[in-house]
Amino acid sequence: MSKASAGDSIWSGFYKRPVGERQKVVAGERGLDAADLAVLNKDGPLPLNVADSISENVIGTFGLPFAVAPNFLIDGKEYVVPMVIEEPSVVAAASHLAKLAKETGGFKTDYSGSIMTGQIQLVKLKDAKEAAKKLEAEKESILSEAQEMGGHLKSFGGGVQGVAVRTLASPRGPMIVVEFNVNVVDAMGANMVNTLMEKMAPSLEKRSGGTARLRILTNLAMHRIAASSAVWSAQSLGGEEAVEAILDAWAFAMADPFRRATHHKGIMNGIDAVGIATGNDWRAIEAGAHAYAAIKGASITTYSKTPDGDLEGKIVIPLAVGVVGGSMKANPCAALGQKILGAKSSGELARIMASVGLAQNLAALKALATEGIQAGHMRLHARHIAKMAGASEKEVDGVIEFMISGKQVNEAGAQAALRQLRSK
Ligand code: MEV
């Protein structure tokens, strides 16, 4: 049991204290020493006072590798893609598959538009069927009311585009959900949609005679879909048999939900990393992608052989991402990520992210279906050990080869490699 949970809570009013005091509380509670506090206070790209204004109970900032994946040719434009991720191999894999796709013209994409859907839940209805009928009949007037309330969205080209009424059977009896489709243009849109839902709720209560409970967007962004496809030559993937092996790996994900979960995890390795690097809400992206995949009951990527025996891949995924709003302004790292990428609109960002997801997926399938995923990881691990052991840039590759061929990927192996290299 932690000390805090035993008696009077030291956490009461914690959120009101300055960062330095919060650190002391956590240090006392969890035994942090001066070195730990130095980590918390180390100046990073996200200043502590800014972090403190973004979240609650902040005691420091948390670093993650900020990397870039070059080689992405998407709709004829070259991108350097920023990626924030702690997992080895992900960035290298995305960039490698992007490079191979470039040989055949790169990625071709599509975007449905930035339409988010907000939901208003109506309960305590005397007669849900009758209430739904009434709302259905009043749809035009509900829509114009919402359009008026969301009038400010027009200033940047957005606005409410449609309304739908659905009756749901629930464990608490029938309820109605009224859904609004809103064009949020270049924002992720959660704030816009949620504000509008809260504003519209009283009118729907009046019209239906019910009570509005939840007034929130859905992360299942069914009308904000990005697609990307590319062709990889069989030769670049390792030949005819490699293409067959990749198709088998993909078919496994199509046929089995257990495999599909991991297959999609690999896709999200890339998409989340770009989401974080550009200050987007990657939990929202994850929620949408997995719900979409669950509805489809299939992989969100598809692969087939072209008449020439090459491999064509395609991804279709809901992507609620923005280039304005959210933490983008507050977090200088996110602003930098956006600057490096240079996507000018939500759609452009979504198209890039879909392409990264596809590249990431194929990289994983290729590795898994051929040499296995551990070989690449092992090389990266070996590189890390070689550097820690003091290998110079010139020596690193030789040390890695020595360690891997001698099956001694550890400090001793690196030292032995260095002794041998330097004795020559
Ligand atoms: C690991 O982070 C991701 C993979 O498991 C994805 C996959 O299995 O397709 C390699």
CATH number at residue 386: 1.10.8
Q: Which residues are catalytic?
A: 87, 265, 281, 377
CATH number at residue 257: 3.90.770.10
Are 265 and 138 in the same domain?
Answer: no
pLDDT > 50? residue 2 = no
pLDDT > 70? residue 105 = yes
First to last CA, the chain: 58
**Cα 418 to ligand 1 centroid, rounded to whole Å:** 33
Are 287 and 366 in the same domain?
Answer: yes
> Over the chain, what is the mean pLDDT?
94
pLDDT of residue 11: 84
Are 162 and 234 in the same domain?
Answer: no
- Give me the number of domains the chain comprises: 4
CA proximity to 219, closest of 294, 116, 296, 113: 116
pLDDT of residue 379: 82
**Residue owning the nearest CA to atom 1 of ligand 1:** 266
**Residue owning the nearest CA to atom 3 of ligand 1:** 266
Chosen domain end from 217, 240, 271? 217
366 Cβ closer than 6 Å to some ligand 1 atom: no
Q: Please state the rounded mean pLDDT for residues 53-60.
A: 94
**Cα 267 to ligand 1 centroid, rounded to whole Å:** 8
Are 159 and 197 in the same domain?
Answer: yes
Domain of 291 in residue numbering reads as 66-112+224-371
Are 56 and 133 in the same domain?
Answer: no
- 8 confidence band (pLDDT: 50, 70, 90): low
Q: Express each pLDDT in 219-249 by its tens digit.
A: 999 999 999 999 999 999 999 999 999 999 9
Instruction: Specify if 305 maps to a domain.
Output: yes
- Largest Cα separation within the chain, whole Å, is 89
Q: Express each pLDDT in 154-177 by its tens digit.
A: 998 999 999 999 999 999 999 999
The H-or-E segment that residue 272 falls in is: helix 257-277
Are 384 and 354 in the same domain?
Answer: no
CB 276 within 8 A of CB 327: no
Burial 49-74 (b: 16+ CB within 10 A, else e): eebbeeeeebbbbeeeebbebebbbb
189 Cβ closer than 6 Å to some ligand 1 atom: no
**Residue owning the nearest CA to atom 6 of ligand 1:** 266
Query: Secondary structure of the chain: what % helix, strand, coil (to 5)?
Result: 55, 20, 25
Count Cα atoms within 13 angstroms, Cβ side, for 136: 10
Are 256 and 396 in the same domain?
Answer: no
Burial 168-194 (b: 16+ CB within 10 A, else e): eeeeeebbbbbbbbbbbbbbbbbebbe
* For ligand 1, mutation pick of 262, 268, 299, 303 (most atoms within 8 Å of CB): 262
The model's pTM is 0.89
373 Cβ closer than 6 Å to some ligand 1 atom: yes
pLDDT > 60? residue 112 = yes
**Cα 263 to ligand 1 centroid, rounded to whole Å:** 6
Instruction: Specify if 7 maps to a domain.
Output: no
Chosen domain end from 184, 202, 217? 217
Q: Express each pLDDT in 197-220 by its tens digit.
A: 999 999 999 999 999 999 999 999
Residue 209 is encoded by which pair of tokens?
A: 């005679």
Least confident of 118-127, 179-188, 272-281, 385-394: 385-394
**Cα 243 to ligand 1 centroid, rounded to whole Å:** 18
**Residue owning the nearest CA to atom 2 of ligand 1:** 266
pLDDT > 60? residue 7 = no
